[in-house]
Amino acid sequence: MPLVATGEIVGAAARAGLGAGAFNVIQIEHAQAIVAGAEAAGAPVILQISENAVRYHGALAAIGRATVEVARAARVPVAVHLDHATGPELVREAVDLGFGSVMFDASALDYDGNVAATAEVAAGCHAHGVWVEAELGEVGGKDGVHAPGARTDPAEAAAYVSATGVDALAVAVGTSHAMVVKAAVVDLPLVAALRAAVPVPLVLHGSSGVPESDLTRAVEAGLTKVNIATHLNVAYTRAIRDHLAGHPEVVDPRKYVAAARDAVAREVTRLLKLVRATP
């Protein structure tokens, strides 16, 4: 199955009223695990690399190329996406590497600044056939400070999409990034109001903090792309801790990283089933 365009996966999910799972890649093993989990679920999936992960590696090229190659070898449709890019240079690099989409995150700017910067990036990406997600109404937690109170206004969101030409919109509806407890409350009436007002698919960020049954409800209410990172990090790290505790003699990282990769694959299969549960 070839690497596919992100818009194909998200568009098909939106038309069917299903969620499209988008999971963050830090190391190559995450890409392998996410694809294995999607293959087990028989579902398409989006691999995304955040600007923070790029900072960890020191550059996008190596992890980006590896992720694209893992996607190309998959037995289900897989798209590769740049997540939370705050500068146009990284966006250009992702486009050159063959990513199908980017999220340009100018949500820390005021409304006019966000519109101007995002419209410029969107025009440049569209000239290369690349799908663009942007954010309005900053979802908290990116700096470690949880701010589940932020909300995106439906009328402003509709105006923003028309002014920027973006293909999908990340909205603030009660979640916050990097939560390790499932205590976020998704504002479902707001999701429905945004769905009615905004003509492009909506994206849920900070999904790790959402109780699992609410993930299905959030999709039913109108969210399509569901971004999950921290939940996988919890599974990955727990598997390594457990493996090392049970095998104190182990020194070969392949032993415990393989255990973590398997754990992440199982979680991806389960989460994809939750976001793709038929209403």
- List residues forming the annotated binding site for Zn(2+): 84, 105, 135, 177, 205
* 83 labelled catalytic: yes
Tokens, residue 173: 């509806």
> Is residue 195 within the footprint of Zn ion (CB under 5 A)?
no
Task: Give the footprint of ligand G3H on residues 38-97 (CB under 6 A).
Answer: 83-84
Indicate which single residue of 30, 205, 225, 276 sits in contact with Zn ion (rule: CB under 5 A).
Answer: 205
| Residue number, 198 or 239, with CB nearest to Zn ion | 198
> Is residue 225 within the footprint of Zn ion (CB under 5 A)?
no
Pick what 230 binds: ligand G3H, Zn ion, none; C-beta below 5 to 8 Å, kind-dependent: ligand G3H
Indicate which single residue of 44, 137, 206, 222 sits in contact with ligand G3H (rule: CB under 6 A).
Answer: 206
> Is residue 179 within the footprint of ligand G3H (CB under 6 A)?
yes
Binding site: residue ranges? Answer: 84, 105, 135, 177, 205
| Residue number, 150 or 244, with CB nearest to ligand G3H | 150
Pick what 136 binds: Zn ion, ligand G3H, none; C-beta below 5 to 8 Å, kind-dependent: none
Q: How far is CA 129 from its chain centroid?
A: 20
| Residue number, 37 or 209, with CB nearest to Zn ion | 209
Among candidate residues 133, 163, 138, 160, the one with its CA nearest the CA of residue 150:
138
Indicate which single residue of 205, 225, 261, 276 sits in contact with ligand G3H (rule: CB under 6 A).
Answer: 205
Pick what 276 binds: Zn ion, ligand G3H, none; C-beta below 5 to 8 Å, kind-dependent: none
Binding residues vs Zn ion (CB under 5 A): 205
What amino acid positions are annotated as catalytic residues? 83
